[in-house]
């Protein structure tokens, strides 16, 4: 009898131990300015992305996946907090994103995915572009990450006037810039270890760090946030990829990112983690069309980065995780805003309940291919509400120039309405045909605007005093 009790206790202990190990690991690969049309599985006729294509074939390819904002800083805040960036003050009508002279960043009281998972015993690492504040009090270790390695803002910053020169050469698909034109630091935790960063090896070095983190934490659950600096201009590749595509520098760069994805997947397989890990591949916003052949393609969608057209906010997204994710194509809505709720549901973590959140739990879509709970999306840019989408219709009241989003916001004389299921390119304005639909969507926008009243004020506008 004693033996039986001991045996039962042993089994219980093992099952509890087993459960804690069963919690999935999460890897988010977040590209910078990668367009919807820049991946083979999403229709690129030119760019070879066999590793991402394989992920899409084995996992879930999402065709209507939205970023929370069409530019870098707010989009990153949206992903990590599960909140439209207007709520955290991480979007601005004065400055598009954070810059090296910015005084602020993501406030400490914001709760990130890393903090939610860390509370559940996860190991956490941020590798790559941060862009949520470069001062020590805003770096990743203040937001739930155990470690950080990367360029803390965009790779084109501190450019000493070279930015304009670069844009002039954007007609040349193989124009190659010099690394010292862009005086960006490479940071390890809180220390600058290199400046300017040798960007030719940046994708490779981010990848090495990511693989090391996976190997080091194979015995415990982990969250890896790998935010590539590429393909944001200026474009750089390692020697092995320069000229490899025989197409253009942009194509070389994406092929190196795809190689990186292959390295991550291989590391998971070698360490027997592939059945218990979810890898999300996506982008922070659409392609930067101003940079012509150095920017990517939004595929069938209108416009690109910085706009609230579909080309600015719909991004190529794959969820991979054999053993967890049920394979298929998901033609329903999802968003980076939803990763917080989804990861919390899969890990047993707690979504903050003391503030307004904007995410949905997609875990049943991933595991059972259930209907997506996301049935609507608000299009914010530069602290202004531009539009709103339900499952079928999207209304615009404001827009930005489709190519040069830096121009001031255009407030439309009258709202435009698109059937984004039938007309994915937003070509045919149906507002005159369906005035009652327009009114219903405008009413929803009014309610949403009331809901964000009293949010954290603009954190992007303030600059550090000049030295
Ligand atoms: Mg970006």
Query: How is 238-255 classified by DSSP, letter by letter?
Result: -TTTTTTTSS-HHHHHHH
Looking at residue 12, its pLDDT comes to 46
For 423, left (φ over 0), alpha (ψ -120 to 50), or beta?
A: beta
Looking at residue 21, its pLDDT comes to 56
Asked about 13 being catalytic, the answer comes back as no
Q: pLDDT for 97-154, tens place per residue?
A: 999 999 999 999 999 999 999 999 999 999 999 999 999 999 999 999 999 999 999 9
Tell how far the Cα of 45 is from the centroid of ligand 1, in angstroms.
Answer: 23
Query: Residues in the chain with pLDDT < 50?
Result: 1, 8, 10-20
CA dist., res. 313 & res. 301, Å (int): 10
Catalytic residue among 31, 72, 386, 396: 72
Tell how far the Cα of 151 is from the centroid of ligand 1, in angstroms.
Answer: 13
| The pairing of beta strand 25-31 with beta strand 123-128 | unpaired
CA dist., res. 75 & res. 90, Å (int): 9
Catalytic residue among 96, 131, 294, 396: 131
Q: Which of 139, 277, 155, 260 is nearest to 207 (CA)?
A: 260
Looking at residue 17, its pLDDT comes to 39
CA separation, residue 289 to residues 76, 250, 273 (Å): 20, 12, 38
Tell how far the Cα of 4 is from the centroid of ligand 1, in angstroms.
Answer: 60
Tell how far the Cα of 33 is from the centroid of ligand 1, in angstroms.
Answer: 4
Looking at residue 112, its pLDDT comes to 98
Looking at residue 327, its pLDDT comes to 98
Looking at residue 104, its pLDDT comes to 98
- Flag whether the pTM goes above 0.85: yes
Q: Contact at 8 Å (CB) between 78 and 340? A: no
Tell how far the Cα of 223 is from the centroid of ligand 1, in angstroms.
Answer: 22
Tokens of 26: 């999460």
The Cβ of residue 100 has, within 10 Å, a number of other Cβ atoms equal to 15
Q: Which of 297, 296, 178 is nearest to 231 (CA)?
A: 296
CA dist., res. 231 & res. 237, Å (int): 10
Asked about 72 being catalytic, the answer comes back as yes
CA separation, residue 79 to residues 4, 220, 340 (Å): 50, 24, 7
Looking at residue 194, its pLDDT comes to 98
């Amino acid at each position: 009898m004693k033996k039986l009790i001991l045996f039962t206790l042993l089994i219980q202990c093992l099952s509890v131990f087993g459960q804690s190990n069963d919690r999935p690991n999460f890897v988010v690969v977040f590209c910078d300015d990668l367009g919807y049309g820049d991946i083979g599985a999403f229709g690129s006729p030119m760019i070879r992305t066999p590793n991402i294509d394989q992920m899409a074939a084995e996992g879930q390819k999402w065709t209507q996946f939205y970023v929370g904002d069409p530019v870098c800083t707010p989009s990153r805040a949206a992903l990590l907090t599960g909140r439209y960036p207007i709520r955290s003050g991480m979007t601005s009508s004065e400055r598009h994103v954070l810059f090296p002279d910015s005084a602020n960043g993501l406030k400490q009281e914001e709760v990130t995915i890393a903090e939610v998972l860390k509370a559940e015993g996860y190991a956490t690492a941020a590798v790559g572009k941060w862009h949520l504040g470069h001062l020590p009090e805003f770096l990743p270790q203040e937001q739930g990450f155990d470690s950080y390695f990367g360029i803390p803002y965009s790779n084109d910053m501190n450019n000493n006037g070279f930015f304009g020169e670069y844009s002039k050469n954007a007609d040349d698909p193989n124009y190659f810039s010099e690394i010292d034109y862009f005086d960006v630091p490479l940071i390890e935790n809180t220390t600058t270890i290199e400046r300017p960063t040798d960007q030719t090896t940046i994708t490779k070095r981010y990848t090495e760090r990511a693989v090391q983190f996976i190997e080091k934490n194979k015995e415990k659950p982990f969250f890896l946030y790998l935010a590539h600096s590429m393909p944001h201009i200026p474009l750089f590749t390692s020697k092995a990829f320069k000229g490899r595509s025989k197409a253009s520098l942009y194509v070389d760069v994406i092929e190196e990112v795809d190689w990186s994805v292959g390295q991550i997947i291989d590391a998971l397989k070698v360490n027997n983690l592939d059945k218990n890990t979810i890898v999300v591949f996506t982008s922070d916003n659409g392609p930067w069309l101003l940079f012509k052949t150095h920017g990517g393609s939004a595929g069938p969608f209108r416009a690109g980065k910085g706009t609230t057209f579909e080309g600015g906010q719909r991004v190529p997204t794959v969820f991979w995780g054999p053993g967890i994710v049920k394979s298929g194509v998901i033609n329903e809505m999802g968003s980076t805003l939803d990763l917080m709720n989804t990861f919390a549901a899969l890990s047993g973590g707690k979504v903050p309940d003391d503030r307004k959140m904007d995410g949905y739990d997609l875990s049943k879509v991933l595991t059972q291919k259930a209907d997506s709970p996301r049935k609507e999306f608000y299009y914010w840019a530069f602290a202004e509400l531009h539009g709103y989408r339900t499952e079928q219709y999207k209304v615009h009241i404001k827009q930005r120039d489709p190519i040069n989003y830096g121009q001031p916001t255009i407030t439309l004389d009258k709202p435009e309405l698109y059937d984004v299921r039938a007309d994915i390119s937003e070509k045919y304005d149906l507002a005159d045909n369906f005035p009652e639909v327009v009114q219903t969507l405008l009413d929803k926008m009014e309610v949403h605007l009331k809901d964000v009243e009293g949010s954290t004020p603009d954190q992007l506008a303030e600059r550090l005093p000049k030295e």
